[in-house]
């Protein structure tokens, strides 16, 4: 079964969503991310993707108290990203209850630090964030494009021991136009052993089933859930039917 990973994006301690990473497009869905997390857990979800959007826009972790509240009030396995730029940020994230941390911008801009984290904590705890726009890697909350091509980036890091990657197609993120299934299938063919977590564009349960049929191991989704296009009941049924 495909691993279902709802996303909670946080600005000012509230649960929000953006479109294509544009901060001006933010929409607040809930004042209490920990309530959202508890409700997801009650419907059988076991894993959560938490993004500190304030952290992504600044250069350090910001909403760690919110992370701590989610972690202390649920038993969810949390992967945390957004603004984790230093050893101190990483320490705070793990201390506040994250089981895994996703590094995107840092993996591009400061590969030595990212590789050291990978060696220190292991590939189960350190996830590579590959945000893609037209096959190139984008960084810093997508405000800038790098000169890195996706395949080169993934080749380098799988050789360094990365085993999990969150791959987000920026052009689709928050747009509800369906995921880049072709992109994920291509990555899957090139990198057999990589645990690919598809992210961006999921608009319905059908999109999730399509990824599942194509053997994509995991999927992150957010807006579709908050806009009611995917219901908690649908998620629960999917989980029950696969056990």
Interatomic CA distance for residues 195 and 52, integer angstroms: 23
pLDDT, position 145: 65
Structure tokens at 18: 């953006």
Whose tokens are 């929000």? That residue is 16
Residue-level pLDDT at 21: 84
Please list the ranges in the chain whose pLDDT falls under 50: none
Which pair of structure tokens corresponds to residue 109?
Answer: 């801009």
Q: Hey, which residues are catalytic here?
A: 9, 131
Instruction: Give the pLDDT confidence score for residue 142 in this predicted structure.
Output: 54
Q: What pLDDT, on the 0 to 100 scale, is given for residue 105?
A: 86
> Residue 176's pLDDT is what?
84
pLDDT at 58: 86
């Amino acid at each position: 079964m495909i691993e279902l990973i709802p996303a909670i994006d946080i600005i000012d301690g509230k649960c929000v969503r953006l479109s294509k990473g544009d901060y001006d497009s933010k929409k607040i869905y809930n004042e209490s991310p920990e309530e959202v997390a508890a409700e997801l857990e009650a419907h059988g979800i076991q894993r959560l993707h938490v993004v500190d959007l304030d952290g992504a826009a600044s250069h350090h972790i910001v909403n760690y108290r919110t992370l701590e509240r989610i972690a202390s009030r649920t038993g969810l396995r949390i992967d945390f990203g957004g603004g984790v730029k230093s050893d101190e940020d990483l320490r705070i994230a793990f201390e506040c209850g994250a089981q895994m941390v996703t590094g995107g911008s840092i993996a591009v801009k400061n590969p030595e630090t990212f590789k050291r984290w990978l060696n220190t904590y292991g590939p189960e705890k350190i996830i590579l964030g590959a945000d893609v726009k037209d096959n190139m890697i984008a960084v810093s909350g997508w405000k800038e494009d790098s000169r890195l091509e996706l395949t080169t980036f993934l080749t380098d890091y799988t050789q360094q021991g990365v085993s999990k990657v969150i791959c987000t197609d920026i052009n689709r993120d928050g747009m509800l136009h369906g995921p880049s299934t072709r992109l994920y299938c291509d990555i899957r063919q090139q990198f057999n052993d990589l645990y690919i977590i598809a992210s961006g564009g999921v608009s319905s349960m059908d999109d999730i089933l399509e990824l599942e049929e194509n053997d994509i191991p995991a999927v992150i989704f957010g807006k579709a859930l908050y806009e009611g296009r995917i219901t908690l009941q649908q998620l629960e049924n999917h989980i029950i039917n696969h056990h």
